[in-house]
């Protein structure tokens, strides 16, 4: 009985509610929900703040993010390793078929079987995987800083505060995402 509660994935409505609750908790704690700034803080921690004011790590203002992200990693371990859902993500059959055409087998290309990441495609010994991972990560890092926020900062927090700049940014997320998924990925993967 308890197992049915702690192992399976959550319904989207419960998941959305949980994210809104995180926004509420961080707001009450006097902080703004936004994950991408962590990358800037990491730059600052490794010394980029000496050359460029932008990266300066302000212990009082920034240290909470390191605790938050440390917690996020632990939370991933708890939910995915200690109490994993025994079933892989149930994708739409059209999606699985489209993945097959890209050369990705679902769910077998996920070595852990959760349907979270195609690590049999993105392998340590594949130069192509390294290039895609570094380039994609670069775009996410560069784009989120230029946008001054990522999914949490704009799509969740900004939209919850009725911000037009956030709405435009989210529209941009989808322009880029749709371009990549429909026109570029077939040539890249």
Partner 1 sequence: MKGITFLLIGIFFGITMTKSEALSWFRIYEMFRFESFHMYGIIGTAVVIGAITMTMLKIFKVKVAGGGLVSYTPLPLNIKRHLISGTIFGLGWALVGACPGPMFVLAGNGYFFILVVIAGAIFGTYTYGMVKDKLPH
Q: Candidates 58, 71, 100, 108: give the one binding partner 1 (CB under 8 A).
A: 71
Is residue 41 exposed (0-12), middle (13-18) or buried (19+ Cβ within 10 Å)? buried
Residues 25-54, one symbol each (x = binds partner 1 by CB under 8 A, - = not), give xxxxxxxx--xx-xxx-xx----x---x-x
Residues ≥6 apart with Cβ < 8 Å to 99: 105, 106
For partner 1, the closer of residues 1 and 73 by Cβ is: 73
Cβ neighbours for 125, distance < 8 A, ≥ 6 positions apart: none
Residues in 129-188 at the binding interface with partner 1, rule: CB under 8 A: 129-130, 132-148, 150-152, 154-166, 168-182, 184-185, 188
Closest to partner 1 by CB, 1 or 51: 51
Could you say whether residue 86 binds partner 1 (CB under 8 A)? no
Minimum CB separation from partner 1 for residue 95, in Å? Answer: 4
Establish whether the linkage from the previous residue to 87 is cis, with ω within 30° of 0: no
105 near partner 1, rule: CB under 8 A: no
Contact call for residue 67 and partner 1 (CB under 8 A): yes
Query: Minimal distance in Å, beta carbon 47 to partner 1?
Result: 11
Q: Identify which of 135, 173, 131, 181 has the alpha carbon closest to the alpha carbon of residue 153.
A: 173
Nearer to partner 1, 63 or 103 (CB): 63
Q: Residue 88 and residue 99: Cα distance in Å, rounded?
A: 15
Quote the distance between the C-alpha of residue 163 and its chain's center.
21
């Amino acid at each position: 009985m308890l197992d049915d509660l702690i192992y399976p994935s959550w319904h989207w409505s419960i998941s959305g509610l949980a994210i809104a609750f995180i926004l509420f908790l961080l707001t009450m704690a006097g902080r703004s929900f936004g994950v991408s700034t962590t990358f800037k803080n990491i730059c600052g921690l490794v010394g980029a703040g000496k050359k460029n004011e932008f990266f300066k790590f302000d212990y009082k203002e920034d240290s909470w993010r390191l605790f938050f992200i440390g917690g996020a990693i632990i939370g991933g371990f708890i939910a995915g390793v200690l109490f994993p859902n025994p079933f892989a993500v149930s994708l739409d059959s059209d999606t699985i078929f489209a993945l097959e055409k890209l050369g990705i087998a679902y769910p077998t290309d996920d070595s852990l079987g959760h349907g979270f990441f195609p690590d049999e495609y993105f392998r340590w010994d594949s130069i192509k995987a390294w290039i895609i991972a570094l380039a994609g990560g670069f775009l996410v890092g560069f784009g989120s800083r230029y946008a001054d926020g990522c999914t949490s900062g704009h799509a969740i927090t900004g939209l919850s505060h009725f911000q037009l700049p956030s709405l435009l940014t989210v529209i941009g997320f989808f322009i880029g995402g749709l371009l990549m998924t429909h026109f570029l990925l077939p040539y890249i993967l």
